[in-house]
């Protein structure tokens, strides 16, 4: 089972995603954005960073990269596709996920730890977590405020497409502060209707070892591994 | 006298005696372009005219040093085939004029220096100085500089893991922005700025435009109101192109395509090409017609002086030219052979088929140096000599601590570092603010490096030599306190005009202090930067030697952070309880005074204290340790409470005046915590090392309680924390 980590010009979490995937024993390889084929790959990760310098709009130019045709094909065939941070922005720009990621309400780049609640565990990305489990993961973005129109939001909720929601720290007094960017419905991550395309703003690949201060991101990679093991090659 | 100078000298600002020297070296009058080449190459920024003789005082060799000063960055060996390249560099004047781009290109420039050594940048730090936080201009500059660092560092994907900022009125007219970068490389991939004879020299990266023209020379002038109109001297950064240039350069090195690499930074084509040829013992011919350009109609002078960003100089190995071009094309970058090396030791510039400049390369590279007479400013000597023993004691000792924690120099830095991506690369072990130094693990090994940059402007202003010693001692102490053994340092020397006796005195004292501390602590300097002429119309900045120390942890698991973590652990202080009021933050806050002498520093004791805390951490007995710095014991204890919201109760027994006991400052002091099991072995180790220590109390609860001989002081950790967090959050919401 091979996982492609797509490198756009300006991607900068590509090596980190590769490291995390390999840490759980997945075969992961970097794929340059001009690549015309993802033949032989059973999953793709669109990593964080500033593809094309975030010029025009975060993720807006990357959707035109040749490799995106192949990512789309992979997604349509039901294989797992994960977009993290800038990768999430690319997936919304490419229309593989609904909605858009707008400037944070504080209007600046914010790098800190946040808490998020796991809303679904029946997905190839979350099976290793417990329903309602609260994860501690870092965010690092300037445009992470999830936005969609009322109708889309309602559909997302009805279809249970919201996978991760910003939540208060366990044992902390509740308050509005837990949502770091003003995302509607506290959305931190969503899937498509098929449940095989995930986009999330927090960085699970940054929380995979104790030495980095946390391991709450590991579950996502373990889940992906388990899912790929039962997929047809 | 100015009127009698030839117009060209007035235009370039080259002093008459240097002009005469240029004529002597050339054996003729230089043309306008040639004179400008000398102007930028003989600027303090490029040539270290005033500092070079003094820089010779610093020790530069050590067992770990693979590359000392003189290259794009210094390199030290960290074992298992790995090495670390690091350097600090100033971007003060551009940041004063245009804070966002000034700071951004400062970051871009130091990253390229590290890449030029063949190293992948893995961490950024910065050292910032501003005027008083209450001033609107300071707020504008602070927001701009932080925004610029974030803009470039975040996008290029190098984490900003640490730094420091001080606010002091003497920086009001001349803020300081120094950026430090740390890179990782395999020892065998170490590159230098070299080219062999007859090789084509490639220009790789962004196109050349009209930005940053004469920036190196601008950096070597005092700031005036006129400079406000020098915006064209400020470069514009593009982190996206920076990222592509970085990746292309590193890939070219990894594939064995290049024999030499040089960053194109200050003084652009002029400096990068002439220095590379000079270091190679060769000459060089540059064809300006081949230089990729952003706009038409650029003159040779503009092309030679442009400091457009994101440009590198690469010398391919024989037969690898086409591979290099193909690699650059893959990243969408220009890669053009703009020059070639020649045997004749000249720097020749050709444009439109004609030689437009030709000067001996040595003459460009070896500017005259100056040794001047220094004299201390008597006002500073008087301030230092002031007797502080008659100062009244504060009525309300308890009230001082929250106020001190809320001063601009001691309050929480999280509103700043939250704007920086401090984790990209997934090597950051301690988040900013969690330890006295940043720790980065080295993937595939058990090793880690620790880095810290430091300089106390009050100490340095009142006693430049002692202040410089403190700067190195404290940065090294911070690295030791997380458990790492300091290996070497980089120094960003920021001072005033060396042509004044007071300015030269400060420069000379600073370097003598650094040299003395280097020798005593066994730390060589491997790279650095000198930024002089940091003055405005009414203030000379305090001498500001920003010292960036790099240390090695052999096992990343054996490390310490600063926060109290376990209830019941014992709090132990290495060093004396009492501190000094001279040059302290407390003195400034409560008495509005910057006076007295900075605390004395006994370097031999300092080295032993650092060795002791490293050993306690290495043995796995200690996981929490913190340097006692500005604000003294009370502030250090409060800071230890913040990470996990855990308090402590401690007792201080010294009979010194209570404000000196609580808030007085002194070096060679470290607080640590240890559990019951390891308390005895730890204190026994300190006894055997002959170090003074005392068990002050225990961790626990949510209050900080300090018992004095005649008073009991108590604070809620949450209340202190709120006071500490508020001030910068207001400026950077």
SS (H, E, C) B367-378: CCCCCCCCCCCH
Would you state the structure tokens that stand for residue B376, as one six-digit string? Answer: 């201390």
Helix extents (H) in B255-396:
268-279, 300-305, 321-330, 361-365, 378-385
Contact: A212, B426; criterion CB under 8 Å: yes
Would you state the structure tokens that stand for residue B504, as one six-digit string? Answer: 């030269």
Residues of B in Cβ contact (< 8 Å) with A140? 154, 421, 423-424
Contact: B157, A50; criterion CB under 8 Å: yes
Residues of B in Cβ contact (< 8 Å) with A20? 426
Beta strands in B425-539 (DSSP E): 438-441, 448-454, 485-494, 525-531
Task: Measure the CA–CA gap between B574 and B612, rounded to whole angstroms.
Answer: 9
Average pLDDT for residues B240-266, to the nearest whole number?
95
Average pLDDT for residues A13-37, to the nearest whole number?
96
**Which residues form the domain of B692?**
560-733
pLDDT at position A231? 76
In chain B, whose CA is at the least distance from the CA of A52? B240
What band does B431 get if pLDDT is binned at 50, 70 and 90?
confident
Task: Measure the CA–CA gap between B461 and B478, rounded to whole angstroms.
Answer: 22
Contact: A48, B244; criterion CB under 8 Å: no
Determine contact, residues B558/B620, Cβ cutoff 8 Å: yes
Contact: A108, B150; criterion CB under 8 Å: yes
Q: Which residues pair with B294 in a beta bridge?
A: none
Q: Which of A12, A19, A109 sits opposite B419 (nearest CB)?
A: A109
Q: Which site among B426, B432, B438, B718 would you substitute to test the A interface, given the most A Cβ atoms closer than 10 Å to its Cβ?
A: B426
Inform me whether the pLDDT recorded for A103 exceeds 60: yes
In chain A, whose CA is at the least distance from the CA of B427? A212
Contact: A12, B147; criterion CB under 8 Å: no
In chain B, whose CA is at the least distance from the CA of A32? B330
Q: What burial class does residue B334 get, using C-beta atoms within 10 Å of its C-beta: 0-12 exposed, 13-18 middle, 19+ buried?
A: buried
In chain A, whose CA is at the least distance from the CA of B429? A212
Q: Which site among A7, A8, A12, A177 would you substitute to test the B interface, given the most B Cβ atoms closer than 10 Å to its Cβ?
A: A12
pLDDT of A173-226, one tens digit each? 555 689 999 999 999 999 999 999 999 999 999 999 999 999 999 999 999 999
Contact: A206, B147; criterion CB under 8 Å: no
pLDDT of B13-31, one tens digit each? 899 999 999 999 999 999 9
Q: Which of A53, A108, A213 sits opposite B240 (nearest CB)?
A: A53
Give chain B's radius of gyration (CA, Å). 26
pLDDT of A66-91, one tens digit each? 999 999 999 999 999 999 999 999 99
How many CB atoms lie under 10 A from the CB of residue B92?
Answer: 25
Catalytic annotation, pick one of B45, B340, B470, B626: B45
Contact: B556, A12; criterion CB under 8 Å: no
Q: Residue A42 carries which DSSP code?
A: S
Contact: B150, A54; criterion CB under 8 Å: no
pLDDT of A118-140, one tens digit each? 999 999 999 999 999 999 999 99
Q: Which of B243, B441, B556 sits opposite A10 (nearest CB)?
A: B243
Residues 6+ apart with CB under 8 A from B499: B50, B372
Contact: B425, A53; criterion CB under 8 Å: no
Would you state the structure tokens that stand for residue B6, as one six-digit string? Answer: 């030839």
Would you state the structure tokens that stand for residue B573, as one six-digit string? Answer: 């202080």
Beta strands in B403-509 (DSSP E): 438-441, 448-454, 485-494
Backbone angles phi, psi at B612, to 5 degrees: -65, -45
Residues of A in Cβ contact (< 8 Å) with B147? 108
Determine contact, residues B252/B118, Cβ cutoff 8 Å: no
Average pLDDT for residues B256-269, to the nearest whole number?
93
Inform me whether the pLDDT recorded for B1 exceeds 50: no
Residues of A in Cβ contact (< 8 Å) with B420? 109, 111
Task: Measure the CA–CA gap between B598 and A80, rounded to whole angstroms.
Answer: 62
Task: Measure the CA–CA gap between B670 and B606, rounded to whole angstroms.
Answer: 10
Determine contact, residues B419/A111, Cβ cutoff 8 Å: yes
Q: Residue B717 carries which DSSP code?
A: H
Contact: B238, A53; criterion CB under 8 Å: yes
Which ipTM did the prediction report?
Answer: 0.95
In a domain, B714, yes or no: yes
Residues 6+ apart with CB under 8 A from B693: B572, B573, B574, B575, B683, B686, B687
pLDDT of B308-329, one tens digit each? 999 999 999 999 999 999 999 9
Contact: B421, A109; criterion CB under 8 Å: yes
Contact: A110, B419; criterion CB under 8 Å: yes
Q: Is B597 helix (H, G, I), strand (E, B) or coil?
A: coil
What band does B216 get if pLDDT is binned at 50, 70 and 90?
low
Inform me whether the pLDDT recorded for B664 exceeds 80: yes
Contact: B418, A111; criterion CB under 8 Å: yes
Would you state the structure tokens that stand for residue B530, as one six-digit string? Answer: 């000198």
Contact: B424, A109; criterion CB under 8 Å: no
Inform me whether the pLDDT recorded for A100 exceeds 70: yes
Contact: B157, A203; criterion CB under 8 Å: no
pTM attached to this predicted model: 0.95
Determine contact, residues A43/A232, Cβ cutoff 8 Å: no
Active site residue B168: no
In a domain, B477, yes or no: no
**Which residue is it, tokens 């002038």?**
B221
In a domain, B631, yes or no: yes
- Closest-CA distance, A208 to chain B, in angstroms, reads 9
Go through chain B and tell me how many residues it has. Answer: 733
pLDDT of A140-162, one tens digit each? 999 999 999 999 999 999 999 99
In chain B, whose CA is at the least distance from the CA of A53? B240
Q: What burial class does residue A158 get, using C-beta atoms within 10 Å of its C-beta: 0-12 exposed, 13-18 middle, 19+ buried?
A: exposed
Q: Which site among A35, A50, A111 would you substitute to test the B interface, given the most B Cβ atoms closer than 10 Å to its Cβ?
A: A111
- Closest-CA distance, A233 to chain B, in angstroms, reads 30
Residues of A in Cβ contact (< 8 Å) with B244? 9-10
The percentage of residues in chain B with a pLDDT greater than 70, rounded to a whole number, is 97
**Which residue is it, tokens 């940054």?**
A206
- The mean pLDDT value of chain B amounts to 94
Q: Which of B431, B555, B533, B519 is nearest to B78 (CA)?
A: B555
Residues of A in Cβ contact (< 8 Å) with B156? 12
Task: Measure the CA–CA gap between B488 and A23, rounded to whole angstroms.
Answer: 33
- Closest-CA distance, B100 to chain A, in angstroms, reads 14
Contact: A211, B429; criterion CB under 8 Å: yes
Residues of A in Cβ contact (< 8 Å) with B424? 12-13, 16, 48, 140
In a domain, B680, yes or no: yes
Backbone angles phi, psi at B568, to 5 degrees: 90, -15
Q: What burial class does residue A65 get, using C-beta atoms within 10 Å of its C-beta: 0-12 exposed, 13-18 middle, 19+ buried?
A: buried
Q: Which of A48, A50, A213 sits opposite B431 (nearest CB)?
A: A213
How many beta-carbon pairs under 8 angstroms link A with B?
Answer: 84
Domain count, chain B: 2
Determine contact, residues B282/B197, Cβ cutoff 8 Å: yes
Q: Which of B498, B516, B499, B515 is nearest to B507 (CA)?
A: B498
Inform me whether the pLDDT recorded for B3 exceeds 60: no
Task: Measure the CA–CA gap between B279 and B275, rounded to whole angstroms.
Answer: 6
Inform me whether the pLDDT recorded for A233 exceeds 80: no
pLDDT of B358-413, one tens digit each? 999 999 998 999 999 999 999 999 999 999 999 999 999 999 999 999 999 999 99
pLDDT at position B545? 98
Active site amino acids of A: 85, 203, 205
| Correct CATH for A2-229 of 3.30.70.260, 3.40.50.300, 3.40.50.10860, 3.40.50.880 | 3.40.50.880
Inform me whether the pLDDT recorded for B232 exceeds 80: no
In a domain, B531, yes or no: no
In chain A, whose CA is at the least distance from the CA of B246? A10
pLDDT at position B231? 47
What band does B6 get if pLDDT is binned at 50, 70 and 90?
confident
Task: Measure the CA–CA gap between B296 and A133, rounded to whole angstroms.
Answer: 60
* B→A interface, C-beta within 8 Å: 147, 150, 154-157, 238-241, 243-244, 330-332, 417-426, 428-431, 441, 443, 556-557, 733
CATH of the domain at B725: 3.90.650.10
Q: Which of A50, A54, A112 sits opposite B418 (nearest CB)?
A: A112
In a domain, B83, yes or no: no
- Measure CA of the first residue to CA of the last residue in chain A; give whole Å: 7
Would you state the structure tokens that stand for residue A205, as one six-digit string? Answer: 């690949």
Q: Which site among B239, B421, B429, B702 would you substitute to test the A interface, given the most A Cβ atoms closer than 10 Å to its Cβ?
A: B421
């Amino acid at each position: 089972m091979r996982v492609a980590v797509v490198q756009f010009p300006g991607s900068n979490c590509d090596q980190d995603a590769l490291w995390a995937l390999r840490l759980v024993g997945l075969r992961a390889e970097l794929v340059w954005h001009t690549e015309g084929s993802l033949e032989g790959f059973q999953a793709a990760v669109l990593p964080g960073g500033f593809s094309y310098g975030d010029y025009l709009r975060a993720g807006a130019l990357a959707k035109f990269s040749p490799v995106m045709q192949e990512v789309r094909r992979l997604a349509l065939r039901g294989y797992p596709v994960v977009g993290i941070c800038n990768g999430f922005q690319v997936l919304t720009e490419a229309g593989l996920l609904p909605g858009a990621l707008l400037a944070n309400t504080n209007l600046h780049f914010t790098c800190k730890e946040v808490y998020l609640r796991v809303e679904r565990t029946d997905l190839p990305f979350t099976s290793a977590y417990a329903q309602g489990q609260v994860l501690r993961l870092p965010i690092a973005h300037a445009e992470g405020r999830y936005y969609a129109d009322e109708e889309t939001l309602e559909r997302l909720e009805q279809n249970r497409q919201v996978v991760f929601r910003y939540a208060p720290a366990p044992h902390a007094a509740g308050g509005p502060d837990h949502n770091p960017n003003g995302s509607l419905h506290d959305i931190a991550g969503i899937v498509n209707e098929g449940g095989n395309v995930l986009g999330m703003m927090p960085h699970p690949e940054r929380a995979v070892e104790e030495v980095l201060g946390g391991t709450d991101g590991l579950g996502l990679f373990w889940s992906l591994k388990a899912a790929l093991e039962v997929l047809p090659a | 006298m100015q009127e009698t100078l030839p117009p060209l000298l007035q235009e370039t600002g080259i002093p008459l005696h240097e002009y005469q020297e240029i004529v002597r070296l050339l054996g003729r009058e230089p043309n306008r372009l040639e004179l400008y080449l000398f102007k930028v190459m003989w600027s303090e920024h490029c040539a270290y005219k005033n500092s070079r003789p003094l820089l010779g005082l610093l020790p530069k060799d050590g067992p770990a040093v693979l590359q000392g000063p003189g290259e794009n960055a210094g390199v030290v060996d960290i074992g298992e085939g790995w090495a670390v390249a690091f350097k600090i560099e100033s971007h003060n004047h551009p940041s004063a004029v245009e804070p966002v781009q000034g700071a951004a290109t400062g970051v871009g420039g130091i990253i390229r220096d590290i890449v030029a050594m063949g190293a992948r940048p893995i961490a950024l730090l910065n050292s910032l100085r501003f005027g008083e936080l209450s001033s609107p201009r300071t707020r504008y500059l602070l927001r701009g500089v932080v925004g610029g660092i974030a803009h470039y560092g975040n996008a290029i994907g190098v984490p900003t893991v640490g730094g420091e900022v001080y606010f002091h009125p003497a920086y009001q007219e001349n803020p300081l922005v120094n950026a430090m970068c740390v890179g990782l490389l395999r020892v065998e991939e170490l590159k230098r700025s070299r080219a062999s004879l007859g090789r084509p020299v490639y220009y790789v990266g962004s196109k050349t435009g009209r930005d940053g023209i004469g920036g190196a020379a601008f950096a070597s002038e005092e700031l005036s109101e006129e400079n406000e109109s020098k915006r064209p001297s400020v470069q514009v950064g593009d982190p996206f192109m920076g990222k592509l240039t970085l990746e292309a350069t590193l890939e070219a090195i990894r594939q064995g395509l290049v024999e030499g690499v040089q960053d194109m930074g200050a003084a652009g084509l002029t400096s990068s090409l002439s220095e590379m040829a000079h270091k190679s013992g060769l000459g060089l011919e540059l064809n300006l017609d081949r230089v990729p350009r952003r706009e038409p109609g650029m003159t040779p002078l503009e092309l030679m002086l442009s400091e457009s960003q994101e440009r590198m100089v690469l010398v391919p190995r024989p037969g690898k030219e086409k591979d290099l071009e193909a690699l650059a094309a893959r990243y969408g970058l220009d890669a053009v052979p703009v020059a070639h090396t020649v045997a004749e030791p000249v720097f020749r510039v050709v444009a439109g088929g004609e030689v437009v400049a030709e000067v001996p390369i040595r003459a460009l590279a070896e500017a005259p140096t100056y040794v001047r007479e220094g004299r201390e400013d008597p006002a500073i000597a008087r301030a230092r000599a002031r007797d502080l023993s008659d100062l009244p004691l504060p009525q309300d000792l308890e009230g001082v601590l929250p106020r001190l924690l809320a001063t601009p120099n001691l309050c929480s830095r999280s509103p700043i570092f939250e704007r920086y991506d401090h984790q990209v690369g997934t090597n950051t072990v301690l988040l900013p603010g969690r330890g006295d130094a940043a720790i980065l693990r080295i993937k595939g090994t058990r090793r880690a490096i620790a880095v810290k940059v430091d300089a106390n402007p009050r100490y340095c202003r009142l006693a430049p030599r002692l202040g410089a010693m403190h700067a190195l001692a404290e940065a090294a102490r911070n690295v030791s306190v997380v458990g790492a053994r300091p290996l070497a340092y980089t120094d960003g020397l920021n001072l005033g005009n060396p042509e004044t006796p007071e300015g030269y005195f400060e420069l000379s004292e600073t370097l003598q202090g650094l040299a003395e501390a280097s020798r005593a602590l066994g730390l060589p300097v491997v790279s650095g930067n000198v930024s002089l002429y940091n003055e405005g119309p009414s203030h000379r900045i305090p001498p500001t030697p920003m010292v960036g120390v790099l240390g090695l942890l052999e096992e990343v698991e054996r490390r310490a952070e600063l926060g109290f973590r376990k209830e019941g652990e014992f709090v132990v202080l290495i060093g004396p309880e009492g501190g000094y009021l001279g040059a302290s933050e407390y003195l400034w806050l409560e008495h509005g005074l910057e006076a007295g002498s900075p605390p004395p520093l006994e370097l031999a004791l300092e080295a032993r204290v650092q060795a002791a805390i490293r050993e306690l951490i290495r043995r796995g007995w200690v996981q929490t340790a913190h340097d006692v710095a500005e604000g003294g014991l009370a502030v250090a204890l409060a800071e230890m409470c913040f990470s996990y919201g855990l308090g402590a109760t401690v007792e201080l027994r010294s009979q010194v005046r209570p404000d000196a006991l609580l808030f007085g400052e002194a070096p060679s002091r470290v607080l640590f915590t240890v559990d019951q099991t390891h308390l005895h072995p730890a204190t026994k180790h300190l006894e055997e090392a002959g170090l003074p220590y005392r068990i002050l109390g225990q961790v626990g609860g949510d209050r900080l309680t300090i018992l004095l001989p005649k008073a009991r002081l108590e604070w809620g950790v949450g209340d202190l924390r709120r006071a500490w967090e508020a001030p910068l959050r207001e400026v950077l919401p």
